[in-house]
């Protein structure tokens, strides 16, 4: 694939933040972006790297009305050796293709996209922050751009990748979060798009999060939409439990997003010889387990936070504390080890890091 390069002019170049503390997640963007277009009959074309800047879209662009789109989220890290590395990037492009299948979007060539991303990262390498715990967040996105407000499969698409330097998720150490089980709303239904990383899922979750925040909770715990019993996810993260020393996470049923952090924790747990299970878990089992002490840890898992311990779980107006309300040893071990691989402090036995 031929990529046209248009570099930002010296006066267009921005200065990366000197320190990431105080920078709000996802609000600062690097100097360049990768773009390409897709047209019916022509496929992907016009691949280019150009200065980061506004898109030109018709107000009738299909994505703006019907949300035919997909996106991804991954990170580049500055390793101890000074090199820059990506964590399992092929998994993100593979998952993007799964989302695209479900949303009738054109698929990408995983190796070509990895190559394009690396070229972009080499050009904007000065934007990979170096302070402890920081990283460069990467957002690939596909949008349906045909100008038509009749509902159908779009005949035109735009794919782009933008880069955003982000600070440490836990500048003052772990902060266990208080979460509320959503009884009023659901995130995803069987046969729906819960396992796709597509915009509408997140728009639909905002009200539940807003109402939970008003009650003093940071995030929502989602139950299955049919029986309202089986635990699915927490906020925009997968969820894990430690039950009688076994690491348990909900099995992928189609309404759960198949997280790459989730997959990595399962693989790490097995590698360490721990007992891991993917199965259905009811809210009753967890509440009972919190009371009798068999459930010792609850934590979310995702790219942004890596691991997010839960201190309090609220259901039907009742708050239940998880353990002593602090970060448990399993969550800590996963966090330390996975970030250790990402920053190059730990060996990488699975070859998860892809050097740029």
Half-sphere exposure of 227 (CA within 13 A, CB side): 9
In whole angstroms, the minimum distance from the beta carbon of 252 to ligand PLP comes to: 11
Question: Between 16 and 26, whose beta carbon lies closer to ligand PLP?
Answer: 26
Question: Between 84 and 262, whose beta carbon lies closer to ligand PLP?
Answer: 262
**Site residues for ligand PLP per CB under 6 A:** 73, 197, 233, 236-238, 257, 259-262, 302-303
Question: Between 97 and 238, whose beta carbon lies closer to ligand PLP?
Answer: 238
In whole angstroms, the minimum distance from the beta carbon of 257 to ligand PLP comes to: 4
In whole angstroms, the minimum distance from the beta carbon of 101 to ligand PLP comes to: 17
Question: Between 61 and 201, whose beta carbon lies closer to ligand PLP?
Answer: 201
In whole angstroms, the minimum distance from the beta carbon of 313 to ligand PLP comes to: 18
Question: Between 266 and 313, whose beta carbon lies closer to ligand PLP?
Answer: 266
Question: Between 145 and 303, whose beta carbon lies closer to ligand PLP?
Answer: 303
């Amino acid at each position: 694939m031929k990529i046209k390069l248009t570099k930002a002019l010296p006066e267009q170049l921005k200065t990366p933040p000197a320190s990431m503390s105080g920078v709000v997640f996802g609000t600062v963007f690097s100097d360049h972006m990768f773009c390409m277009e897709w047209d019916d009959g022509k496929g992907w074309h016009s691949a280019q790297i150009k200065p980061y800047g506004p898109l030109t879209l018709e107000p009738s662009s299909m994505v703006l009305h019907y949300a035919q789109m997909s996106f991804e989220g991954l990170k580049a890290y500055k390793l101890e050796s000074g090199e820059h590395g990506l964590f399992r990037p092929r998994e993100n492009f593979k998952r993007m293709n799964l989302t695209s299948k479900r949303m009738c979007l054109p698929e990408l060539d995983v190796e070509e996209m990895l190559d394009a991303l690396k070229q972009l990262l080499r050009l904007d390498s000065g934007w990979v922050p170096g302070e402890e715990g920081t990283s460069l967040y990467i957002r690939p996105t596909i949008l349906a751009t045909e100008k038509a407000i009749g509902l159908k499969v779009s005949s035109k698409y735009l794919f782009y990748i933008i880069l955003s330097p982000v600070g440490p998720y836990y500048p003052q150490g772990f902060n266990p979060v208080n979460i509320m089980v959503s009884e009023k709303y659901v995130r995803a239904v069987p046969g729906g798009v819960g396992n796709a990383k597509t915009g509408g899922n997140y728009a639909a979750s905002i009200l539940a999060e807003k109402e939970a925040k008003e009650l003093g909770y940071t995030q929502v715990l989602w139950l299955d939409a049919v029986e309202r019993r089986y635990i699915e996810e927490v906020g925009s993260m997968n969820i894990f439990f430690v039950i009688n020393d076994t690491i348990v996470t909900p099995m992928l049923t189609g309404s759960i997003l198949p997280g790459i952090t989730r997959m990595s924790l399962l693989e790490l747990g097995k590698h360490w010889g721990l007992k891991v299970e993917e199965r259905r878990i009811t809210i009753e089992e967890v509440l009972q387990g919190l009371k009798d002490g068999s459930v010792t840890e609850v934590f979310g898992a995702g790219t942004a936070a890596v691991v997010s311990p839960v201190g309090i779980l609220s259901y039907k107006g009742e708050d239940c504390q998880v353990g002593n309300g602090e970060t448990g040893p399993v969550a800590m071990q996963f966090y330390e080890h996975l970030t250790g691989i990402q920053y190059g402090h730990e060996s990488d036995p699975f070859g998860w890091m892809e050097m740029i």
